[in-house]
Amino acid sequence: MESCDVSFPRARKRNRARIRGFAALIVLLAAGCGGDPATPAPAAVGQEDLTLLPEATTFGTLADAAKDSGAAATGKVVHPKDDLVVYQSVGGKAVAKLPSTQVGSPTWVPVIAEQGQWAEILLPARPNASAGWVHLDPARVEIAQNDYTVNVDRAAFSLELTRSGERLGKWTIGTGKPEYPTPKGRAFLLASIEETVNEYSPIVLPLSAHSESHETFGGGPGTVGIHTWPNDSYQGQANSDGCIRVPKAALDELVKVPLGAIVNIV
């Protein structure tokens, strides 16, 4: 039986070798990002206050998070070296902490806007389209370029993978049932998990998006993922519990995509 969400407690999580290659592309913030009098410094957050902040993970809910502003993604992705404070706005209220790992994979989140030493990022917690601002302190974050984009068209039952606007592949997919629809909006590739419990897919790629119909599913928080299926009965059909079912050829390409890549679902 399919889970619209990864069996987090039982699945063996893995850090893919490709992440090591991706890490080689990391570009630390240089002196050009050091100091901009036009933007405020972040409010100091003590260790005790940091402990009390909710975690920005697929298991969390961030009531005070900002919403995705809709700004065009910059192609940059951010990795926190340790718990990173997320603010509601530039120089505003601290609303969450972003951990350095997510579901056994290193945390990479997309940057959708920049203002001085600040970056607006998408977050992996509920509600969908949660966003926030982080201060780009080179002692606390790493930055890389990620030019991959995944475009999902629910009506056309298609998934397209591009890099710098160039199509790398397009496949027929399956999506969520009308009562459990795949949520539309902008999300990102959150993690990669080698599945050892369910047999429908060797690898599952959790997204930052969550089902709007399932508060929980299969013991998890209703995280939507991309995975394969034992047969092709899903193709061109809305018959999952919210996940995106893809052919093996698509998954083989998607597992090469660095984490943090934008996933547009329309």
Question: Which residues are the active-site residues?
Answer: 227, 243
Distance separating alpha carbons of residues 106 and 190, to the nearest angstrom: 9
Residue 168 Ramachandran class (φ > 0 left, ψ -120 to 50 alpha, else beta): alpha
How many angstroms separate the CA atoms of 200 and 240, rounded?
12
CA atoms within 13 A on the CB side of 5: 22
Contact 15, 105 (CB under 8 A): yes
How far is it, in rounded angstroms, from Cα 95 to Cα 133?
Answer: 10
Please report, in angstroms and rounded to a whole number, the separation of the first and last CA atoms in the chain: 26
Q: How many CB atoms are located within 10 Å of the residue 170 CB?
A: 15
Cα three-residue angle 161-166-171, rounded to 5 degrees: 30
Q: By the 8 A CB rule, do 159 and 246 touch?
A: yes
Residue type, 48: E
DSSP 199: S
**169 contacts 162 by C-beta, under 8 angstroms:** no
